Structure 1
Amino acid sequence: MINVLIADDHHLVRASIAHLLNQEGDIRIVGEADDGESAVAQSRQLRPDVVLMDIRMPGIGGLEATRRLHRGMEDIRVLILTAHMEDNVARKMLEAGATGFLSKGAEPAEMIDAIRQVFLGNRYISQEIAQRLALSNFAHKDNPFAPLSHRELQIALMIVNCQRVQEISDRLHLSPKTVNTYRYRLFDKLRVGTDVELTHLALRHGLVEGFETAEASP
Structure 2
Amino acid sequence: MIEVVLVDDHELVRTGFRMILAGQPGIEIVGEAADGEEGLALIRRTKPDVALVDVHMPRLTGIELTDRVRRSKLATRIVILTVVNEAPFPKRLIEAGASGYLTKGCAAEELVRAVRQVAEGRRYLSPDVAEALALGVLDGNRVSPFDALSARELDVALMLAQGRDMQNIASLLKLSAKTVATYKYRLFEKLGVDNAVALADLAHMHGMLDNRARALTG
What's the TM-score once normalised by structure 2's chain length? 0.63
For 1:148, the equivalent position in structure 2 comes to: none
**Residues 168-205 of structure 1: CA distance to partner in whole angstroms, max 9, x if unpaired?**
xxxxxxxxxxxxxxxxxxxxxxxxxxxxxxxxxxxxxx
1:70 aligns with 2:74: no
Alignment of 1:46-57 (within 5 A): 46-57=46-57
Structure 1 residue 42: deviation in Å?
Answer: 0.5
Instruction: Return the offset for 1:110.
Output: 0.8
The Cα shift of 1:135 comes to 1.1
| Cα deviations by residue, 1:3-56 (Å, 9 ceiling, x for unpaired) | 000011100100111111110121100111111111111100011100001100
The answer for the alignment partner of 1:5 in structure 2 is 5
Where structure 1 has 5 or more consecutive residues not aligned to the other structure, the ranges are 142-218
Q: Give the greater-gyration-radius structure (CA).
A: 1
SS of 1:9 mapped into structure 2 = coil
Instruction: Confirm or deny that 1:59 pairs with 2:59.
Output: yes
Supply the distance in 2 between the matched residues of 1:94 and 1:140 (Cα, whole angstroms).
Answer: 18
Instruction: Determine if contact 2:47/2:74 at 8 Å carries over to the other structure.
Output: no
Instruction: Give the corresponding residue for 2:108.
Output: 108
| Structure 1: distance between partners of 2:111 and 2:130 | 16
Map of 2:85 onto structure 1: 85
Structure 2 segments unaligned to the other structure (5+ residues): 142-218
The one-letter amino acid of 2:26's match is D
Please state how far the C-alpha of 1:71 moved relative to its aligned partner.
1.1
Aligned-residue sequence identity (percent) comes to 42
What is the count of residue pairs matched by the alignment? Answer: 141
| SS at structure 2 position matched to 1:84 | coil
Aligned partner of residue 139 in structure 2, secondary structure: coil
In 1: Cα distance, 2:110 partner to 2:48 partner:
20
Q: In 2, Cα distance between the equivalents of 1:127 and 1:12?
A: 25
User: How far 1:117 sits from its partner (Å)?
Assistant: 0.2
Q: CA RMSD in A?
A: 1.2
CA distance in 2, matches of 1:111, 1:140: 30
* 1:30 aligned partner: 30
Provide the rounded CA distance (Å) in 1 between the counterparts of 2:140 and 2:70: 32
SS at match of 1:138: helix
Residue in 2 that maps onto 1:124: 124
String of CA shifts for 1:150-180, please: whole Å, max 9, x gaps.
xxxxxxxxxxxxxxxxxxxxxxxxxxxxxxx
